[in-house]
Amino acid sequence: MRTSQPSVRDPQLTNAPGRLGEATTSRLSGHDLTLGYEQRTISQELNVAIPDGSFSVIIGPNACGKSTLLRALSRLLKPLAGQVILDGKPIHRLPANDVAKRLGLLPQSSIAPDGITVADLVARGRYPHQKLLSQWSAADESAVLEALLATNTASLSRRLVDELSGGQRQRVWVAMVLAQQTPLLLLDEPTTYLDISHQIEIMELCRQLNRGKGHTVVAVLHDLNHACRYANHLIAMKDGAIVATGAPSEIVTEELIHEVFGLRCRIIEDPVSRTPLVVPLGDVESWA
């Protein structure tokens, strides 16, 4: 199995890749990680740092270890070896409630309880801030309202989650994560199963949370062009290894796309965002 030694395209993984400031730091990082499930090892000697204030996107082919890495960074998966560091301490040594105040996670598949309203689901994001005998506070109410407004779901607050469209539900789940009021947001494939309009809604929301609200956002995405347009830091994976990290404009090349995805393509400039646009070649002769 390949290991995640830095490639020639890698800036230093212990510091922030990409152009995010001269002295970028990392509150969340992984060091010499071996990740897997029972008898199956996915990644070995994995090193990664999430630049503070970035919108970082993990890309790569199916089953390359993207979601496994995100699960490890979020404390859902304990590494077989190595450590995930959050604010200078091993994340698995921190109390779960403490982690939940610093890091919010939207998992790949989220299922709401039957009959729950949007407002009640979003309010569950306040659980890390609740004490055993404490009552619902003005701060809790304000956090929920702010999350609903930020995700444009306030008008849905009294509706049942089961009645919503896919795009609306995704926004509500993001609102629940926002109600935690954490500086770090981890999103596992937030646009999966959504039509193109709802995909763009979610991506625009993520960008606003990052640039407008100051959250550090980490997402797993399959769409390369969404990743290039909206992220300012990419983590490219293949076979459980990180093969390149950095700003899209610096690392996204035809050679990288072929190496990671086995796809022949052309890279042109997106006429709207001026970011790299991946154009698959396919069978060129069949288009003649």
The kind and range of the H/E element at 67 are helix 66-73
Q: Which residue has the higher pLDDT, 17 or 96?
A: 96
pTM: 0.85
pLDDT value at position 1? 35
Q: Are 151 and 171 in contact (CB under 8 A)?
A: yes
pLDDT at residue 286 above 80?
no
How long, in residues, is the chain?
288
Q: Which of helix, strand or coil describes residue 280?
A: strand
pLDDT at residue 278 above 60?
yes
How far from each other are the two terminal CA atoms of the chain, in whole angstroms?
40
pLDDT digits (tens, 9 = 90+) for 133-183: 667 888 899 999 999 998 889 999 999 999 998 888 888 999 999 999 999
pLDDT digits (tens, 9 = 90+) for 259-270: 999 999 999 999
Q: Which residue has the higher pLDDT, 38 or 179?
A: 179
Residue bearing tokens 């890279």:
267
Say what percent of the chain tops pLDDT 70. 88
β-pairing, 216-220 with 184-188?
A: parallel
pLDDT band of 257, cuts 50, 70, 90: very high
CB atoms inside a 10 Å sphere around CB 286: 6
pLDDT at residue 17 above 70?
no
pLDDT band of 132, cuts 50, 70, 90: low
pLDDT value at position 10? 43
Please give the Cα distance from 66 to 45 (Å, whole number): 15
pLDDT band of 285, cuts 50, 70, 90: low
pLDDT digits (tens, 9 = 90+) for 41-85: 999 999 999 999 999 999 999 999 999 999 999 999 999 999 999
pLDDT value at position 116? 96
Average pLDDT of the chain? 88
**Which of 3-7, 13-17, 170-174, 227-231 is predicted most confidently?**
227-231
Q: Which residue has the higher pLDDT, 38 or 185?
A: 185
pLDDT value at position 110? 79
Please give the Cα distance from 200 to 237 (Å, whole number): 24
pLDDT band of 7, cuts 50, 70, 90: very low
